[in-house]
Every structure is written in structure tokens, then in C-alpha cells.
Structure 1
């Protein structure tokens, strides 16, 4: 049984979902209005206009026989009215289809853009704690849920409202008692349906959450299929997937049982309504002098409105499913952006490339637990200096580069580039001043040329080739089946680790930014390739500020300066030769890696 907290959360999520959907609908209000008006006309003409004219025909026929030569003169106006009603009704139906399709297409574009922008502008902490496959699934469901809601409003719910209006307007002047009883029963039907709808809303959210988790498990296993196979863990992954799949079945079963219960209750009310209309139709003429035409209208209109109310049960079930499916992305859209541009953020331009970390305080939060990484951290890197960051794992090396890129925001102190506080600059302008090559190369499922030119899409083919040559990548690229047009596969899976890394380095070379950040950028290369790439990086770093994170100390030994981090603090700082002579932490690390001994 759901707790009050779960029900309140589901209701709050529903309101937020409607908020986002209304934002999109409001942009296309003309199409939305056209859809509503055409639906109103469609129901009015075909569901109510036809029976009304037919009731007049029945009354005319019941009044007495019409001579055969007077059929068209007597019934001609009715025939013309029926033809006109059906022509206009069908036109309204096609107009309804047009407005529906156009609105769904336009809204899907806007919702996809909204979701993409929200996910792309979220912090790395946000993405680190979520399955990529789950986010993709949530985005698809968020878009399809809007279409489901729109269709549900247009077909079951708007016709129900129209049916009530037309039934009251046409029958109330003729049989007010009957209309009063009918409306009371329909109100009871609507209240019971809504009450039961609210009771099971959270079940749909839970079912959608289970389905998203299932998608995430599948995505995680497929993305790491090599690890699954090489460790023979197919059965283990099958177990995780099966557990998630069984959770989906269990939650869908609960949703089904609740929906069936609601359907049985509302069906009983529908039977009661039809029993009431049967009594009135049977005795209407005898008790109240109701004409045959009006009796036909009573039955037809009551059957129509009751049938429409039957669809409400299905419509509410679709509402439940839609809001449940949309809940995951709604929560993601509501998630505060941990790294956001200031309202008056300026475009940063690194003229020289000097970097200053002043009084940095930073806590890493994982699972609600804070871990202090930096406390009052200071570091000055002059323009054009090549600095290596070394230290044991967890010392804060990579974290420092991520703070420089504003992939996470500091809690205390400030980071400046050429005296400009990066917190006051736009993230986009900041990152366009820094060429970043991480330990794991980041390649798209696109051509080699597109991957190299990613940081500078206007580059010519000659510039792309030159960047590849300087990164020692040209030779192997030209041996690929389609050369620079070869598609690398998802995350560059078609290439070796060293090849992927050299393409990533070529991308940084082509970007030609004033600041260069290398995070274990040569770790995947063999010794020969590393020497060639190091030569290319030496050329690239000349005249630029470079921050190089490395565990392999030979990578940083030739740099201008080496900063040794330990527990988020600078414990040693200086050129390679001085640190070796000092015999401290760096010298100890060097000796372990090279097997050398200090004199």
C-alpha cells in the first residue's frame, strides 16, 4: 500500500509534468486551439446533429403518413440538413487529424530539445550517478507520454465534455427530470473514477521507474559486453537483468489489478445509468407524453454519453501510464543544475593563459556523504608554463583539472585565468580556451575526420590531416578501409586504445587552444608511439600553458615544473632535477617506477 508521502510525490510530479507540457503547448497554441475547436465541431455535428435531425424525421413520420409524391417536399430540408451535417462533420474530422499530427510533430521537437538541453547542461556529478541508457529511455518516454496525453484529451475527454453540454442543452428543456437524474449518475461515475485514478497514480510512476531501471541494466551490460564475456559473467548479468525484469512484471501486475478493479466499479455505474434510461424510454410516452423523436434522442444521447464515460476509465488509465512514463524525465528537468552560468556571465578569453587557484575548498558528495578533497588550496601557474601534476591515486590531480574546466564547481575560493574568475564566465567560452585530452579517449560514432575536427568543425581536410600527422595518427588512419571517412563505432570501439588516444590528441592539436590539459593522455600508447606523440606534444605545448596529469613520471620529467599532490595539498613543487635531488615524495615515486637509486 502506498504511503501518503508517495501519493503526494506522485501528485507533485504530475503537476510538474503538466507544467513542462504546457510550456510546449503554449508555443503552438494556435494548433492546440484548432484541435479543440475541430473536435468540438466533430462531436457536435456527427454525434448530436445527426440524431437530432433524425428525431425530427421520426416525429414527422409518427404524425401521419406522407404521400409518395410529397416525400422530397416534406423531408427535403431534413435530407439536406443531414448531408450538410455529415460533410461539415467529416471536414472537422480531417481538420482534427491535421491539427493533431502537426501539434505532435512540433511538440515532439520541442520536448526532445528541452530534454537534450537539460541533460547536456547538467553537471558531471549528475551523469556519474545515472545510467546513460535510463536517461535515453526517460527522454523517449517523456516525448511519447505527451502524445498519449494529447490523444487522450482529444478523444475520450473532450468528447465527454461536449456530450454533457449537448445532452443538457437539447434534452433539458424537454425532459428536465430525466436530465437531472442522468447528470447525477454521471457525476457519481466521474467522482468514483477520479478518486480511484488518484489512488493508483503512484503505481504507474513505480512501474515506469522499474522499466527505466530495466533499460539501464540492459544498457550497462551491452556497453560493457567485453568485460562480461572475458570474465565469463553472462549468468551474473542475466541474474541482474532477470531481477529487474521481474520487478517490472510485479509492478505492472499491481497496476493491472488496480485498473481492473476501477473498471469493474465504473462498469456497475454504467449499467445503472442504462437501466434508468430503459425505464424512461419504456414509460416516457405514457407518463410524460414524450414524443417518439424525443425518445430516440434520449436513448441515442444517453448511449453516446455513457459510452464516452466508459472511455474515461480507459482514458484515466492512459493518463496514469503517461504521467508515470514522464515522471523520470520530469525529475531530471527539475534537478537543480549544480554548475550553472551566472545571469550576467561574460565570454572568457585567455590572452596569455595564466592560471590561479586561490583558497580552493571543494567537497565531493556521493550518496549524501561529503568527502573533503581541497581545503584552502593555492596554486599559481604562470602563462606558458608546462606543469605536471603527480601523486598517488586520490590525491586530487584529476579533480583539479575538472574544477578548472568547471565540470564541478568549487564551494570556496576562486579560480582565475588571466585574472578573470571562471565562475563569472560562460562555461562554453571557458572550455573553448582549453583543449582537454582525458585518460579514456572520447570518440563519437562518426567518421575519423569528424572526430578530429570536433573542437574546430570549420577545419579544412588539409588541417585535419596535418593534425593527424603531428599526433602520429596519419599512418594508421590511411590504412583504415575508408581512411578519414571510416566510422569509428560507438565510443571508438573499432579502433585500438592507442589509436583512439592519438585521434583524441589530434583533436586537441587542431583545436589550438591557449591552455592544454592532458589527463594521462599518453597512457594507452606503446613506447614507440609515446615517443612520437611526446614530440608532437612538446611542439604543441610550446608557448602555451599546459597542465599534465600523469602516473607515468617519464611523461612529466621534461616539463618546466612538477607539482606533487598528497591529500589535496601541494607537498612538493619544482623541476624534475630539483625534486630528485631533494629526495622527497617525488624522488621516491621516481625510484619505484625506474628502479633507480639516488646517489
Structure 2
């Protein structure tokens, strides 16, 4: 477990450094301005003041010679403060600029990783959890950068300047002070390692809580119509209590670390009190040097006190980032070959040659296809039927490369889909699923999604062909109507017709319909069926259906059973053959006659 945490932390730093390196000028300016800010304001001022104290100790100065004697010190103090404040403002500027630039890059990195992952990846994760991980990954970089800039870099600067200025004057004191500070740092780091795992567990609990909330809100209709509000609240409360429990463990561990390091701080200040009290008598240390000793020790001790808070913020940052780091490290189950060309589809002939495919759920391996072969000529309309689990939808997902086959190859117009880019493949295939996939955007934007350069006239024409124009124009805002999340403001039939309009406008040579009418009422189904018949003209079509009336008019019907083709031919021939298809057909038509 410790190795995994360490690896995740290193990988998080790897991704953050990738982003930081792109803006290294800003990062270097931020570090330099912080170093200069601490040097001038925290150490320059006390150094000059110690010289003033020594000069005052040397004897009084006549009133008319004050500026002559102390003028250089006054000028030095003014210059130090002007430059120090300038460095402070440069620090603020570079910090803001770097955070803004890095946030953009990290958001893009996360979005690309999530969009390019396989459907298997997304099927096994809460969408809300992935959103939460992305947000935390971006925030963790900002927290990490601010922690390095404010507690840790000033600590390093304080140690360097304290040693450089005081070691020549009071070497024994500096040696004792550094030994105590090393002990302080070692204790802090040891306890940091212990708390790191608690932070990761707390972050995991937070992600789970976000996932539960997202899942309940996304399915709120099912929750309410089933009267399961109490059940969902119990699940949420269980996740919420897990957050409280893990946050409490993290809190107590952090408090324990703070108490131990506070004791070391008291020891350090006790040592400086002894040295200041007897420094002049024992070692002949000047008054100005005593002032510097106290000021610098107080400064460095205060800076070390921030280590506790800084390490806690480090813990939180790495814990929050761990989820997305693991996601970024997740191998892409479906990836383009380096330098893969775009697919160019003109006719749409499809060949499944010797297909072998299995999926693994936990340790269980399920074989779906083994040496599967199917040829679909260009322009042919093919229906895929069979009982649930026969492999119908899986075959369409393999065609779209939402999953990759283990054996064989899939060709479109003689081009191996595994050797072409995924985007060009999918832009050649119009896909209409059972549940229309709509964005929380206007109807016009949803229709034009596959062809964003379409004119309004083209969008209207596609809507008309999809039998969607009438209901769209009757909406208060027409094509500007926002559909709601997943199209929730529209009925099932309306959503499906918008999806068909999108497919019509995209004008792809290959069409895949996956149970596109099974969830509709009779009136909606008639409108959608009419729209689909227009959509299928002149295209190679694969239609998945349980309702056989949907495929009866197609050129060809392929019956699947456990990943194998058991029957293949036109509707009339299959009914006449009195086989499995005929049994399914008689069962369905018989049901309608009762």
C-alpha cells in the first residue's frame, strides 16, 4: 500500500511538472521573486537595524549629525523595502498567471484522458466521481504551488540566510539551532508520511460521496417514482459518515503532529533566550548581533511552524489529486496506432473476419464472439435479432471501436478500423441508440452536433425529414429551446426524432440503429419509423431490434445466438424456414393478435 501511495505521489508530480515546464519562465520568476522578497524584508531589514543598534551602542550622536551618520542606514532601509515590496507584487503576479495557465492545461489534460477512454472504463465509474476528481486535480495543483511558494521556499531561504549571516559571528549557536531544526524537520516528515495515507482515504471517501450524490440526482425520477428517497438518503448518509470518520482520523493525526513540533519550537526559543541573556557576557556578542539572533531565530522558527500546515496541505493536495492521477495512468483499452491515417468511407461495405472478443468482469472471463464472420455489402440494410445476450449490441460497439477485438479484423471498404483513427471511423457512422443522447444545449445545437458548420436551413430540413419540425416550431423558443440534461425536457419520441435529425444532417455512409424504437409509444413509433426509413435510404444499415416488426422490411436479417449466426436471410425466407426466427415472429405476432 505504501509503495502504491508513493508511486501515485510521484506520478502526480510527473503530471504537474509536465504542466509547469510549459510555463517555466513564470515558475522561475515566482521562485526568484519569493527568494528576493524573503531576503529583503525578513533578513535585510533586521540586518540593517542591527547595524543601527551597534552604532547607537557605540555612543550618542549630535543632533546636527544624525543624517550624516545614519543617512546610509535610512537609504538602505528604504531601498530594501521598495525592492522587497516590488518583489512581493511580482510574486503575486507570477503566481496568478501560473495558476491560470496551469488550470487550463490540467483541465485539458483531464478532459482528453476521459474522452479518449473506452466505454468499459466509463461503465465502471460514476460520472460524478470523475467530475469531482477533475476538479480536485486542478485545485490540488494550486494548493501545491501555493504551499511550495509560501511555507516551504521561505523556510529554505530562512535556513540559508540565518546560517550565512550568523555562522561567522556565533558558530556554536548556529550549530545548535540547525541541529534542533533538523530534528524538527525529521519529525514533521515522519508524521507527514503517516498522515498521507489518511488523506488519500479521506479524498476517496469524498469522491464516493460525490458519486452517490451524482447517481441519486441523475436518477431522481426513478427515486421519486419508486418512493426510495429514504433508501437513497441512507446510502448518502453512509458515505457521508465515512467522510466524517476519515476526516476525523486525519484531524487527530494532524493535531498530534502539531503538538510534538510545538514542543520542539519551545526548546528552540529556550535556547535562544539563554544565548541572548548570556551572549555578551560569555562570548562578547554585540547588541546588534543579539538583536539579529533573536529576530532571525524567531523568523526561522515561525517559518518552521508553517511546515505543519504546509505538510498537511501537501497531504491534502496529493490525496485530492490521487484519483485523477490514477485515471491518467489508466491504460487506454482502445487507442489509435501511432501515425494512424483517417478512414475514408465512400460505399460502406462492412466485413467482420474471424472476430474473437471477450470481456473480463473481475476475474470472470466471458467470451462473446469466437471466429465470427459476417459480410454486409455496401448499401444493404441488415437487421440483427436474437435473445438478450446474443451479442447484437456488442457487435455494433465493436464496429464503432468502443471496445477492441482480441482476434480477427473488422473492415469498412477494405480498411481495417483498428489501423485508422477512431474519430474518422465514428464520423463515418451515424449511431442512433435506444435512448437518444442529447446535450443540455439548444435543439439546433443538438441536431448540428455531427455537422457543426451546418446552416439553419440545413438544420430545419433535417428536422423536417425526421418528422421533428412541427413539434420544434410549437415550442416557445423553437430551435433555441434548451433540451435539459440528457434531453429531459422532451418526450422520448421527440428526443429520438432530434437524434434522427442529427444523423440525417451528418449524412454518414454507414448507419447503426440500436433498439431505436423499442421504448416508444405507438404514435411516436410511427413517426420515428417513417423518419428512420428516410434515414436508411442509400446507406449501409445495421439495425438491432427485439421488436421484429422493426426489421421485417429490411433487405436481410441475421439471427444471433451466443455470438454465432444461426440464420441469415430475408424476412419471408426466414419465416418460411420455420426456425428460430419464425418462432420469435409467431410469438410476437401472436401476442399482438390476442
Aligned to 1:316: 311
Q: Kindly state the Cα deviation for residue 128 of structure 1 after the two structures are TM-superposed.
A: 0.2
2:101 corresponds, among 102, 106, 129, to 106
2:470 corresponds, among 458, 462, 475, to 475
1:370 corresponds, among 355, 358, 365, to 365
Aligned to 2:239: 244
1:497 corresponds, among 492, 496, 499, to 492
2:295 corresponds, among 278, 296, 300, to 300
Aligned to 1:575: 570
State the distance in 2 between where 1:532 and 1:130 align: 36
Q: Please say if residues 470 and 533 of structure 1, whose CA atoms lie closer than 8 Å, have aligned partners that are also in contact.
A: no
Q: Kindly state the Cα deviation for residue 533 of structure 1 after the two structures are TM-superposed.
A: 3.0
Is 1:181 the counterpart of 2:176? The answer is yes
State the distance in 2 between where 1:325 and 1:535 align: 51
State the distance in 1 between where 2:478 and 2:265 align: 69
State the distance in 2 between where 1:433 and 1:532 align: 25
Equivalent positions of 1:137-148 (< 5 A) are: 137-148=132-143
Indicate the larger mover: 521-530 or 287-296: 521-530
Aligned to 2:122: 127
Which deviations, in whole Å up to 9, do the C-alpha atoms of 1:384-419 show, x marking residues without a partner? Answer: 100000011111000000000000000111100011
State the distance in 2 between where 1:368 and 1:37 align: 53
Q: Please say if residues 198 and 250 of structure 2, whose CA atoms lie closer than 8 Å, have aligned partners that are also in contact.
A: yes
Q: Please say if residues 378 and 539 of structure 2, whose CA atoms lie closer than 8 Å, have aligned partners that are also in contact.
A: yes
What SS is found at the alignment partner of 2:568?
strand
Equivalent positions of 1:123-272 (< 5 A) are: 123-272=118-267
Q: Kindly state the Cα deviation for residue 597 of structure 1 after the two structures are TM-superposed.
A: 12
Q: Please say if residues 354 and 407 of structure 2, whose CA atoms lie closer than 8 Å, have aligned partners that are also in contact.
A: yes
Q: Kindly state the Cα deviation for residue 535 of structure 1 after the two structures are TM-superposed.
A: 2.9
Unpaired segments ≥5 residues, structure 1: 1-5
State the distance in 1 between where 2:67 and 2:165 align: 27
State the distance in 1 between where 2:419 and 2:349 align: 17
Equivalent positions of 1:18-37 (< 5 A) are: 18-37=13-32
Aligned to 2:415: 420
State the distance in 2 between where 1:539 and 1:148 align: 55
Task: Kindly report structure 1 stretches of 4+ aligned residues shifted beyond 3 Å.
Answer: none
Q: Please say if residues 383 and 545 of structure 1, whose CA atoms lie closer than 8 Å, have aligned partners that are also in contact.
A: yes
Change (3 A) 1:175 1:330: same
Is 1:453 the counterpart of 2:448? The answer is yes
Unpaired segments ≥5 residues, structure 2: none
Q: Kindly state the Cα deviation for residue 596 of structure 1 after the two structures are TM-superposed.
A: 7.8
State the distance in 1 between where 2:316 and 2:176 align: 33
Aligned to 2:321: 326
CA RMSD of aligned residues (A): 1.1
Q: Kindly state the Cα deviation for residue 370 of structure 1 after the two structures are TM-superposed.
A: 1.4
2:586 corresponds, among 564, 587, 591, to 591
What SS is found at the alignment partner of 1:595?
helix
State the distance in 1 between where 2:206 and 2:592 align: 59
Which deviations, in whole Å up to 9, do the C-alpha atoms of 1:501-528 show, x marking residues without a partner? Answer: 1101110111000000000112233333
Q: Kindly state the Cα deviation for residue 470 of structure 1 after the two structures are TM-superposed.
A: 0.9
2:270 corresponds, among 275, 278, 282, to 275
Change (3 A) 1:71 1:226: same
Q: Please say if residues 501 and 524 of structure 1, whose CA atoms lie closer than 8 Å, have aligned partners that are also in contact.
A: no
State the distance in 1 between where 2:54 and 2:592 align: 114
What SS is found at the alignment partner of 2:331?
coil
State the distance in 2 between where 1:543 and 1:224 align: 39
Indicate the larger mover: 323-332 or 366-375: 366-375
